């Protein structure tokens, strides 16, 4: 009989757990789940994995009976093999006992839980039944085998990062500063989990929890420790320690204070370098607060400089011309000079770097001389002034006043301040109608009493008066009326700083503050363009916005660009704009010194209650000292001319060869070849070089040295048309001539070449000395004093000048000389010989003194005042005869005369050679030598 197919029965399993499938009710059909550890799977005998057993269902006796009754059945009841079904199954099944069906499942290779934790496959047994064709073999049903590979703790924890960093703020305790994290490559939950972390570094104020969170155990102090370095390790649940510990750096920051970072307090500005970025690396620290908007105000404080900022320091009159104002402007507060000396007694700022300002302390005032301003102003007219005034008092304080000089004490017009109000009084002159007319115009202004410089311009076209303050227009808030003045022949007195009280000869209503640039322009109003030009600073803030942020930030400047305001809501764009803000000074020679800088910031946040407060940032711009120019005047410094030239209508040119040169001195590094121990390397050294530069002049003044000019017979003259053609002005007095106006050095040279000296009474003239000085920027840079001495070249025949004690004896050659005449001639000749010898000694002494002066660097002058000559000239002798007589032998009388002639000529030649040597570099040296030689044509 044929036996039934073998079925799986509950087999014996060694080293593994057999799990019955609970869903199976038939014992023979249950699956078996076997769980083995890696150690169990890989024992010393790796082939022994699982023992399985198969057989027949039913009691063994039946099987035994079958075997006994039927040998074929016994053969078929044996188990000949197992077959494992599945792809890439790393196991094989081997029969151990055919009769019992016992076999093993063993691994083909070493198993790794980290590669695969479970294996599932099916296994099938087949018996040994074989027919002639082998078709009697029976197979069992397929049993599913689950094998779970148990893990070994073979791996250690590894940190995910090589190191960790964190930054904390001092004085604060954190719940978690940072988190470290390690991983384990083991496959099982037990050995792959990190059970704990540990800070290895001892005595640190930090702790770490099982999840790797580090926190501080106490408040940290930046001054005590700025950075902590911790070593941290980890353990898995199998107690394996990390293969490598990890380094943790914790930086301590001072308590976060919202502020601008990267702000340099001192910023140096070198003149002539254009614009300079003020905040190139500035950024805003907000301490992580959410910001909705930012507003920043940047102030450049320049009120301590001149009239509130760095402006060109030319005279106010010159500035009006530079700004395009037409003629007719009169300057009432000029820089003191020989031609304008009424401001001499006023205190000034004692400096030339910036504008000239005058101080009025409540006890000082000045009277403007007659003729400077017309007694009656021609309407329309303009009054302009720079004023800095302190807190207002109860009394009136007069800036400008035109009142009666005597008796009635009437105020014709005046400008004054009263209780922080600016008031213009303008009384109308007598007319046929005696009706009320506007007389006082009042403006209430904060600028009047804020102790700052402001520019005031009043355009008066009666009855309308327009006020400009710093270029902005203001209308009067009050206008009062009054009767016109009564007709009177009383002269008026114009005063500044107070009002003249007429017959009392006292001043009243004194001004307290500073004034500058007080001007009156009659007959024309000042236009807005000129007013803006006069107020504009030469220094200020500037910003060039990048295109990407131009629309993100709003920028506004004040009129003189000393402050600007920024508004925006994006911090990044805002910081880019801040980094493009710069300082600019366009003056060629700016005022050196400090300009204070202040940055004020207002920040708005989402939650107004917790919004941050950003403190002001303060610093300063240091404008370095500019390289000062040296203005040098040079040319012919003495000359001699005949009386006819002095008396002619053209006169004598004072400065025909004048040269004006301006240079600056700089230190530069040059490479100098020097032998050194290293082998003669070049060493950089500093050397001083001079470089010629071009700039403008604003004044050249010619002054008489010695007695003043006598208007009855002498004068200084110049072609006024040539001066006006070059936009210059000229004023003259008995002490000299002043040419003013901002113009080039070349134009000043051309005008100075035209100045002539005339004297139509040469009997009283022997020499005249003049001094020339030119300046730039209202006296900030002054040239050397160039002195010129002019001599009257006198004919030597029959001339006696008491100053020089010059006696000239003229005697004809007599063919017959009586004895008395002979005696007279001998006496005269003897006296002449004595005087000539004395003259020669004096000439030589003067020559030696001149050489000493040259050695001491003094100016080479030809000063004839030191000579006292007695010269005898024979008009019958020619120049050739004199030389021929020099070559003859010595005889008594003729030889003496010839000797005198030789000494005389030798002295003249010596004098000429001396002058020629002193003018070797002069282009006119040869002509000057000819002028200084004796003119024999008049003998």
Decide if pLDDT at 678 tops 50: no
- pLDDT, tens digit, for every residue of 612-626? 889 999 999 999 999
113 vs 369, more confident: 369
The answer to whether 36 touches 2, Cβ cutoff 8 Å, is no
Q: Read out DSSP for 647-694?
A: HSSS-EES-TT-EEEEEEEEEEEEEEE---TTT--EEEEEEEEEEE--
The kind and range of the H/E element at 845 are helix 819-855
Domain 48-54+64-148, CATH homologous superfamily name and number: Cadherins (2.60.40.60)
- Percent above pLDDT 70 for the chain: 73
Confidence category of residue 279, pLDDT binned at 50, 70, 90? very high
Q: Could you check whether 259-302+540-623 and 316-535 share the same CATH topology?
A: no
Pairing of strands 381-389, 102-107: unpaired
Give the whole-angstrom CA distance, residue 117 versus residue 558. 79
Decide if pLDDT at 558 tops 60: yes
Give the whole-angstrom CA distance, residue 867 versus residue 860. 16
Coil, strand or helix: which one is 386? strand
Q: What is the pLDDT of residue 264?
A: 92
Block residue for tokens 């500044």: 496
All residues at 6 or more sequence positions from 495 whose CB lies less than 8 Å from its CB, including other chains: 365, 366, 367, 368, 398, 400, 401, 402, 403, 507
Tell me whether residue 117 is exposed, middle or buried, using C-beta atoms within 10 angstroms of its C-beta: 0 to 12, 13 to 18, 19 or more.
Answer: middle
- pLDDT, tens digit, for every residue of 232-243? 999 988 888 988
Distances (CA, A) of 836 to 257, 608, 822, 902: 96, 106, 21, 11
Decide if pLDDT at 797 tops 80: no
Decide if pLDDT at 417 tops 90: yes
Across-strand partners of 216?
206
Q: What is the mean pLDDT of residues 500-520?
A: 84
Give the whole-angstrom CA distance, residue 5 versus residue 57. 10
Q: Read out DSSP for 735-803?
A: TEEEEEEEEEHHHHHHHHTT-EEEES-GGG-SEEEEEEEEEETTTTEE---EEEEEEE----TT---TT
Closest by CA to 172, choosing from 91, 256, 104, 112, is 256
Q: Which CATH number fits domain 316-535: 1.50.10.100, 2.60.120.200, 3.30.1360.30, 3.40.50.620?
A: 2.60.120.200
All residues at 6 or more sequence positions from 205 whose CB lies less than 8 Å from its CB, including other chains: 216, 217, 218, 220, 228
Q: What is the pLDDT of residue 188?
A: 72
Decide if pLDDT at 878 tops 90: no
- Could you tell me the two tokens for 592? 């050196």
The answer to whether 285 touches 602, Cβ cutoff 8 Å, is no
3-state DSSP percent of the chain in helix, strand and coil, to 5? 20, 35, 45
Q: What is the pLDDT of residue 77?
A: 63
Decide if pLDDT at 376 tops 50: yes
Q: What is the pLDDT of residue 682?
A: 53
Q: Half-sphere exposure of 890 toward its Cβ, with a 13 Å CA cutoff?
A: 4
Q: What is the mean pLDDT of residues 307-313?
A: 84
Q: What is the pLDDT of residue 685?
A: 63
832 vs 228, more confident: 228
Confidence category of residue 696, pLDDT binned at 50, 70, 90? very high
The answer to whether 595 touches 304, Cβ cutoff 8 Å, is no
Which residue intervals of 95-171 are DSSP H helices? none
CATH of domain 259-302+540-623: 2.60.40.680
C-beta atoms surrounding 467 within 10 Å: 20
Closest by CA to 155, choosing from 44, 233, 239, is 239
The answer to whether 578 touches 543, Cβ cutoff 8 Å, is no
313 vs 497, more confident: 497
- pLDDT, tens digit, for every residue of 81-122? 888 887 778 888 888 888 777 888 888 777 777 677 778 888
Confidence category of residue 739, pLDDT binned at 50, 70, 90? very high
Q: What is the pLDDT of residue 311?
A: 84
Q: Sort residue 272 into left (φ over 0), alpha (ψ -120 to 50) or beta.
A: left
- Could you tell me the two tokens for 53? 């057993």
- pLDDT, tens digit, for every residue of 886-913? 444 444 444 444 444 434 433 333 343 3
Across-strand partners of 126?
81, 139
Q: What is the pLDDT of residue 702?
A: 95
Confidence category of residue 125, pLDDT binned at 50, 70, 90? confident
Decide if pLDDT at 855 tops 60: no
773 vs 433, more confident: 773
Q: What is the mean pLDDT of residues 819-846?
A: 72
Per mean pLDDT, which range of 61-75, 408-422, 557-571, 780-794 is the poorest?
A: 61-75
Decide if pLDDT at 835 tops 90: no
Block residue for tokens 């106010």: 316
Mean pLDDT of the chain: 76
Q: What is the pLDDT of residue 485?
A: 77
For the entire predicted model, the pTM comes to 0.59
844 vs 401, more confident: 401
Q: What is the pLDDT of residue 435?
A: 77
Per mean pLDDT, which range of 259-263, 689-693, 696-700, 763-767 is the poorest?
A: 763-767
Confidence category of residue 351, pLDDT binned at 50, 70, 90? low
Across-strand partners of 912?
none
Q: What is the pLDDT of residue 30?
A: 37
The class that CATH gives domain 158-253 is mainly beta
- Percent above pLDDT 90 for the chain: 30
Rg, Å, the chain Cα set: 58
- Could you tell me the two tokens for 121? 């496959």
Residue 738 CA from chain centroid, whole number: 37
C-beta atoms surrounding 732 within 10 Å: 16
Confidence category of residue 563, pLDDT binned at 50, 70, 90? very high
63 vs 477, more confident: 477
The answer to whether 676 touches 717, Cβ cutoff 8 Å, is no
Q: What is the pLDDT of residue 794?
A: 64
Q: What is the pLDDT of residue 600?
A: 94
Give the whole-angstrom CA distance, residue 152 versus residue 123. 28
- pLDDT, tens digit, for every residue of 164-194? 999 998 888 899 999 999 988 777 767 778 8
Decide if pLDDT at 69 tops 60: no
Decide if pLDDT at 23 tops 50: no
Give the whole-angstrom CA distance, residue 473 versus residue 119. 97
C-beta atoms surrounding 743 within 10 Å: 20
C-beta atoms surrounding 806 within 10 Å: 18
- pLDDT, tens digit, for every residue of 206-216? 999 999 999 99
Q: Where are the domains of the chain?
A: 48-54+64-148, 158-253, 259-302+540-623, 316-535, 631-666+690-792
Q: Half-sphere exposure of 799 toward its Cβ, with a 13 Å CA cutoff?
A: 15
Q: What is the pLDDT of residue 683?
A: 56
The answer to whether 831 touches 870, Cβ cutoff 8 Å, is yes
Block residue for tokens 């030589």: 844
Q: What is the pLDDT of residue 684?
A: 58
Nearest 5°: CA angle at 106, between 104 and 110? 165
544 vs 353, more confident: 544
Backbone angles phi, psi at 633, to 5 degrees: -110, 135
Q: What is the mean pLDDT of residues 780-790?
A: 93
Q: What is the pLDDT of residue 834?
A: 79
Furthest CA-CA distance within the chain: 212
The answer to whether 459 touches 441, Cβ cutoff 8 Å, is no
What is the torsion angle, in degrees rounded to the nearest 10, for the CA atoms of residue 374, residue 379, residue 382 and residue 383?
50
């Amino acid at each position: 009989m044929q036996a039934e197919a073998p079925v799986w029965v509950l087999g014996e399993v060694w080293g593994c757990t057999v799990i019955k499938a609970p869903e199976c009710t038939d014992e023979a059909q249950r699956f078996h789940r076997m769980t083995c550890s890696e150690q169990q799977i890989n024992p010393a005998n790796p082939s022994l994995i699982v023992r399985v057993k198969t057989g027949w269902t039913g009691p063994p006796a039946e099987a035994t009976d079958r075997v006994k009754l039927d040998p074929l059945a016994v053969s078929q009841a044996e188990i000949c093999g197992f077959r494992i079904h599945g792809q890439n199954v790393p196991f094989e099944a081997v029969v151990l006992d055919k009769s019992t069906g016992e076999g093993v499942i063993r691994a083909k290779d070493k198993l790794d839980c980290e590669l695969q934790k479970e294996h599932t496959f099916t296994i099938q047994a087949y018996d040994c039944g074989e027919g002639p064709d082998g078709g009697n073999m029976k197979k069992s049903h397929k049993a599913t085998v689950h094998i779970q590979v148990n893990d070994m703790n073979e791996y250690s924890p590894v940190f995910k990062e090589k190191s960790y960093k964190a930054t904390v703020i001092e004085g604060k305790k954190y719940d978690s500063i940072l988190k470290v994290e390690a991983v384990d490559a083991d496959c099982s939950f037990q050995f792959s989990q990190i059970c704990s972390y540990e800070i290895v570094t001892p005595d640190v104020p930090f702790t770490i929890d099982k999840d790797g969170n580090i926190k501080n155990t106490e408040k940290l102090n930046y001054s005590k420790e700025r950075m902590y370095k911790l070593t941290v390790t980890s353990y898995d649940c199998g107690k394996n320690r990390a293969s490598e510990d990890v380094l943790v750096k914790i930086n301590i920051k001072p308590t976060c204070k919202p502020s601008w970072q990267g702000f340099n307090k001192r910023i140096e500005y070198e003149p002539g370098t254009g614009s300079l970025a003020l905040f190139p690396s500035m950024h805003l620290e907000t301490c992580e607060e959410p910001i909705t908007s930012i507003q920043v105000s940047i102030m450049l404080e320049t009120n301590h400089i001149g009239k509130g900022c760095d402006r060109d320091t030319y005279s106010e009159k010159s500035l009006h011309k530079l700004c395009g104002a037409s003629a007719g402007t009169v300057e009432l507060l000029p820089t003191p000079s020989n031609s304008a000396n009424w401001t001499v007694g006023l205190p000034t700022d004692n400096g030339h770097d910036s504008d000239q300002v005058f101080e009025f302390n409540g006890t000082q005032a000045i009277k403007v001389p007659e003729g400077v301003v017309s007694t009656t102003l021609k309407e329309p007219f303009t009054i302009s002034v720079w004023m800095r005034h302190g807190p207002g008092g109860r009394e009136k304080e007069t800036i400008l006043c035109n009142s009666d000089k005597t008796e009635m004490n009437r105020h014709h017009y005046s400008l004054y301040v009263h209780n922080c109000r600016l008031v213009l009084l303008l009384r109308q002159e007598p007319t046929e109608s005696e009706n009320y007319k506007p007389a006082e115009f009042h403006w209430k202004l904060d600028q009047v009493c804020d102790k700052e410089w402001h520019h005031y311009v009043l355009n008066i076209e009666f009855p309308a008066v327009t006020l400009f303050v710093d270029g902005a227009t203001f209308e009067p808030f009050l206008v009062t009326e009054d009767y016109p003045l009564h007709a009177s022949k009383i002269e008026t007195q114009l005063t500044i700083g107070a009002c003249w009280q007429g017959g009392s000869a006292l001043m009243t209503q004194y001004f307290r503050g500073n004034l500058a640039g007080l001007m009156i322009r009659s007959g024309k109003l000042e236009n807005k363009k000129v007013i803006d030009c006069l107020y504009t600073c030469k220094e200020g803030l500037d910003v060039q916005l990048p295109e990407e942020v131009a629309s993100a930030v709003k920028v506004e400047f004040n009129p003189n660009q000393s402050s600007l305001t920024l508004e925006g809501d994006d911090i990044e764009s805002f910081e880019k704009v801040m980094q493009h803000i710069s300082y600019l000074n366009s003056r060629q020679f700016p005022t050196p010194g400090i300009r204070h800088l202040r940055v004020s910031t207002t920040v708005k946040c989402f939650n107004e209650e917790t919004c941050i407060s950003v403190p002001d940032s303060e610093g300063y711009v240091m404008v370095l000292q500019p390289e000062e120019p040296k203005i040098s005047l040079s040319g012919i410094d003495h000359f001699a001319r005949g009386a006819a030239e002095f008396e002619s209508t053209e006169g004598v040119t004072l400065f025909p060869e004048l040269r004006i040169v301006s240079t600056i001195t700089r230190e530069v590094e040059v490479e100098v070849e020097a032998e050194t121990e290293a082998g003669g390397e070049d060493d950089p050294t500093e050397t001083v070089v001079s470089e010629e530069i071009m700039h403008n002049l604003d004044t050249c003044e010619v002054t008489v040295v010695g007695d003043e000019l006598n208007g009855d017979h002498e004068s200084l003259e110049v072609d006024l048309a040539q001066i006006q053609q070059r936009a210059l002005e000229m004023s003259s007095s008995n002490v000299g001539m002043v040419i003013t106006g901002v113009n080039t050095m070349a134009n000043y040279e051309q005008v100075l070449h035209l100045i002539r000296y005339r004297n139509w009474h040469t009997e009283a003239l022997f020499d005249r000395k003049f001094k020339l000085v030119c300046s730039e920027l209202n006296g900030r840079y002054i040239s050397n004093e160039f002195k010129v001495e002019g001599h009257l070249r006198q004919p030597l025949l029959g001339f006696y000048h008491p100053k020089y004690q010059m006696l000239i004896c003229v005697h004809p050659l007599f063919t017959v000389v009586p004895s008395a005449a002979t005696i007279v001639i001998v006496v005269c000749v003897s006296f002449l010989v004595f005087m000539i010898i004395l003259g020669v000694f004096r000439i030589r002494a003067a020559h030696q003194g001149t050489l000493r002066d040259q050695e001491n660097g003094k100016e080479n002058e030809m000063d004839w005042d030191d000579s006292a000559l007695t010269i005898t000239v024979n008009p019958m002798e020619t120049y050739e005869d004199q030389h021929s007589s020099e070559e003859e032998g010595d005889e008594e009388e003729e030889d003496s005369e010839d000797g005198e002639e030789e000494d005389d000529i030798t002295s003249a030649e010596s004098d000429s050679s001396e002058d020629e040597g002193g003018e070797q570099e002069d282009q006119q040296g040869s002509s000057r030598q000819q002028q200084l030689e004796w003119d024999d044509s008049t003998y």
